[in-house]
Structure 1
Amino acid sequence: MRRFELEKKLGTKIAYLRKNRGFSQEKLAEKTEISEIYIGEIERGDANPTLEKLKLIANALDVEISELFNFSL
């Protein structure tokens, strides 16, 4: 899988999980202390988040970090 493709799939999965939990980007940003702008960039596949950021997102969404990489929606 190419890097850009991975980032797009990861972003789509994070957006899916966020919406599934009824969170806005603003709410996820609040829970993770990551800027709302950066959350949007991650979800669009425009950012390459660090493992630390992905851990924060997974914790806020109450999932294991591995779930972020399970691209079967």
Structure 2
Amino acid sequence: MAVEKIIKEIQHLNRKDKARLLRFLEAELIKEDSREDPMEDFIGSIKKLSKPSKGASGYEKDLYGGPSTC
């Protein structure tokens, strides 16, 4: 319900105010990203890729979507 009210308020803003709001939201997202640990995200991605899958190796299946043809 609150989101709908916010959307209605945004629709009434002029172009200049919408641009200011967009820049503000982008800055907030950048702040959030800087608080997260990129190395932790990277290690999590590596762990996800290294899990074995049925049939093909997990890495090949994740990359190519199926078993190796080699």
Same fold (TM over 0.5): no
Specify which structure has the bigger relative contact order, considering alpha-carbon pairs within 8 angstroms and separated by 6 or more residues. Answer: 1
TM-score by length of 1: 0.26
Q: Which has the larger radius of gyration?
A: 2
